[in-house]
Amino acid sequence: MDKDINSKKKIVTARDERLKTALKANMAKRKAQAKGRVLTCSTNKEIQFKLED
């Protein structure tokens, strides 16, 4: 019985570590994407609009 509890704890711990690592990588990716969007948006402010008659 102790063997089952220990193996389940190891599985849960391993899963938690995988999820934690994946979340950290995902957050870094999203942060880089947001930073890239800010850089491209600031250069697009020079757009001029033509009004139609």
Residue 11 lies inside a defined structural domain of this protein: yes
According to the model, what pLDDT value does residue 40 have?
Answer: 74
According to the model, what pLDDT value does residue 24 have?
Answer: 97
Q: Measured between alpha carbons, how far is residue 5 from residues 12, 21, 26, 34, 43 in Å?
A: 11, 24, 31, 43, 57
Residue 49 lies inside a defined structural domain of this protein: no
Please indicate, yes or no, whether the overall pTM of this predicted structure exceeds 0.75.
no
Residues of the domain holding 25 = 2-39
According to the model, what pLDDT value does residue 9 have?
Answer: 85
For the chain, the domain total comes to 1
According to the model, what pLDDT value does residue 43 have?
Answer: 55
Residue 12 lies inside a defined structural domain of this protein: yes
Residue type, 51: L
Residue 34 lies inside a defined structural domain of this protein: yes
Residue 45 lies inside a defined structural domain of this protein: no
According to the model, what pLDDT value does residue 11 have?
Answer: 87
pLDDT means over runs of 10, the chain (53 residues): 76 93 97 86 60 64
Query: CB-based burial of residue 26 (10 Å sphere; 0-12 exposed, 13-18 middle, 19+ buried)?
Result: exposed
